[in-house]
Amino acid sequence: MSEKSCDRSDFDSVLAQFLKEHSSRPVRHETIARSCLFSARKRSRHTARRLLVALVMLGALAGIVATSSLPYLIPGAALRPIDRRSAAVIDELSLTDPDPAFLVNATSSLTAAGYHVDYYPPSRATVSLFQVLPRLGYGLVIIRSHASSDAIVTSQPYSQSQYVWPQLTGSLSDEKISNGDDYFAITSDFVNNQMQGSFQEATIIVMGCQSVQGTPDFAAAFIHKGAGAFVGWDNMVSLQYTDESTAHLVKLIALGRPVENAVQTVGAQDPVYHSRLVLIDSSSLAFDQLKGTLDLLRQLVLAAVLFMLGPLVLGLILKRLWGL
Q: What's the per-residue H, E or C state across 218-268? A: HHHHHHHCCCCEEEEECCCCCHHHHHHHHHHHHHHHHCCCCHHHHHHHHCC
Beta-bridge partner residues of 133: none
Least Cα distance to 146 among 184, 117, 189, 118 occurs for 184
Task: Answer for the pair 145, 90: CB distance below 8 angstroms, yes or no.
Answer: yes
Mean pLDDT is lowest, of 29-43, 148-162, 271-285, for 29-43
Residue 185 has pLDDT above 90, yes or no: yes
Residue 38 has pLDDT above 50, yes or no: no
Residue 5, phi-psi category: left (phi > 0), alpha (psi -120 to 50), beta (remainder):
alpha
Instruction: In whole angstroms, give the CA distance from residue 246 to residue 250.
Output: 6
* pLDDT-above-90 percentage for the chain: 55
Task: Answer for the pair 76, 221: CB distance below 8 angstroms, yes or no.
Answer: no
Instruction: In whole angstroms, give the CA distance from residue 195 to residue 198.
Output: 8
Angle, CA 312 vertex, CA 306 and CA 316 arms, to 5°: 130
> Residue 215: pLDDT band by 50, 70, 90 thresholds?
confident
Distance from the Cα of residue 242 to its chain's centroid: 28
Instruction: In whole angstroms, give the CA distance from residue 28 to residue 8.
Output: 31
Mean pLDDT is lowest, of 11-25, 36-50, 230-244, 293-307, for 36-50
> Residue 213: pLDDT band by 50, 70, 90 thresholds?
confident
The pTM score is 0.67
Residue 29 has pLDDT above 60, yes or no: no
Neighbours of 196 (CB within 10 A): 14
> Residue 309: pLDDT band by 50, 70, 90 thresholds?
low
Least Cα distance to 121 among 89, 147, 99 occurs for 89
Residue type, 279: L
Q: What is the pLDDT of residues 246-270, one digit of tens each?
A: 999 999 999 999 999 999 999 878 9
Residue 151 has pLDDT above 70, yes or no: yes
Instruction: In whole angstroms, give the CA distance from residue 28 to residue 20.
Output: 13
CA atoms within 13 A on the CB side of 219: 27
State the DSSP string of 113-132: TT-EEEEE-GGG--HHHHHH
Instruction: In whole angstroms, give the CA distance from residue 249 to residue 265.
Output: 8
Which of the listed ranges 204-218, 229-243, 281-295 does the model predict with the highest average pLDDT?
Answer: 229-243
Mean pLDDT is lowest, of 82-86, 211-215, 312-316, for 312-316
Q: What is the CA radius of gyration of the chain?
A: 36
Q: Which helix (H) or strand (E) holds 6?
A: helix 3-69
Q: What is the mean pLDDT of residues 48-56?
A: 59
Q: What is the pLDDT of residues 84-139, one digit of tens each?
A: 899 999 999 999 999 999 999 999 999 999 999 999 999 999 999 999 999 999 99
